[in-house]
Amino acid sequence: MSSFEYRGGALHAEDVSLTNLAEKVGTPFYCYSAEMLRKAYTDFAGAFAGLDVTVCYAVKANSNQAVIALFAALGAGADVVSEGELRRALAAGVPADKIVFSGVGKTRDEMDMALRADCGQFNIESEPELAALSEVAASLGKSATIVLRVNPDVDADTHHKISTGRAGDKFGIELDRIREVYAAAAKMPGLNPSGLAVHIGSQLTRLDPFRDAFERIAALVRELRADGLHVDRLDLGGGLGIVYRDEVPPVPTDYAEIVRDVFGDMDVALTFEPGRRLTGEAGILVTRVIYVKESGGRKFAVVDAAMNDLIRPTLYEAWHDIDPVAQPADDAARMPLDIVGPVCETGDVFAVQRDMPPLAAGDLLAVRSAGAYGAVMASTYNSRLLIPETMVNGSQEAVIRPRTDYDTLIGQDVVPGWVTAQ
């Protein structure tokens, strides 16, 4: 179910005309559907009814506080990977005890801040990190609840840049080291070892890699308990895929059935960290055609959005469906077209030889499934301004992050006096 549909010949976000919204906020801009965000969350969380489950939204997917707050109002916690994300989650109203601090490179300053904020759980990714957290927690007279992130050596069969559970990936502690490290952690000051974590990657469209990883974790739990160690929680990460092109991602109920099958009788609290699954399809990027040109026998539509606004096509060779905001006629002729941005890089491309109806300067386009890893990965490359984010709720609309201005952008620089001194 999508809330981005044609009505009266024009694409709408719920009950809001994207043409009208573009006139108000200018292009390019992001637009999120509150209806789709809520449905994605309730579908996911509802699949685990009857289990002891906490859903901690993975803030890295889309860190706008309006998005975080919407999920928090539905009962979500947050999965964060930096002090900045932790501060965003707290500011958006997420209770500190429902925040999971993940990430391979937590600094001592970040640990200090998280401990003072009474962060609910630390996911430990290495033995040096374990020692550092012990020292920081002990110095504060705190006890940090920790789980050890296991690298299960499972290939998630996804893009290699977002696969995180293979041997040789930077994430987690090797499976055959966990028992020794867990036992050591139980003796370290300032630490409360409580369980294990696993996350094998993002945009998974098959369930068998999950089952493979989960069964390895379940076996490890039994071994740890046999060693006399306390294990009462598991963090099973996220990774369920969404539709970008023609994928058929698993439904949450089928995913939950594997969880019940593997862990249903283990008496553990479960945490999940969905990100893309909750926000990806709930957002679009709206951009306007600046020029249509021909070169080397190819036709190009140059739009006002660029790789600095949505980097996924450049970084991952990712596909995003792209639709005109003005509904084309059913019998409209289509032609292969490169849709490119204005950034001074050949790689600034949204689509290559995509079959599109005729386009002209001024036409609006909607880039679909842009609600995750879109605005959150944006930059000001080429001194381009960060673009607005908007959210709609029925007929209501709001700018949830305004467009920056050039005075702010340029004013961040400081020119020392000796640069211009003669």
Catalytic residues: 344
d(CA 15, CA 18): 9
Map tokens 């974590």 to a residue.
197
**CA torsion sign, 223 to 229 to 231 to 232?**
positive
Expressed in angstroms, the distance from the first to the final Cα of the chain is: 65
Tally of CB atoms within 10 A around 243: 15
Residues for the chain: how many in total? Answer: 422
Other Cβ atoms within 10 Å of 218 Cβ, number = 18
Listed in sequence order, the residues at least 6 apart from 190 whose beta carbon sits closer than 8 Å to its beta carbon are 133, 134, 135, 136, 137, 138, 139, 140, 142, 143, 144
Report long-range pairs for 258-265 (Cβ below 8 Å, ≥24 apart).
258/207, 258/210, 258/211, 258/214, 259/48, 259/51, 259/214, 260/51, 262/211, 262/214, 262/215, 262/218, 263/214, 263/218, 263/234, 264/51
Select from 69, 85, 77, 14 the least CA-distant residue to 45.
77
Site of tokens 């694409």: 11
Q: Render the burial of 112-125: b for 16+ CB within 10 Å, e for the rest.
A: bbbbebebbbbbbb
- The dihedral through the CA atoms of 220, 221, 226, 230 has a sign that is positive
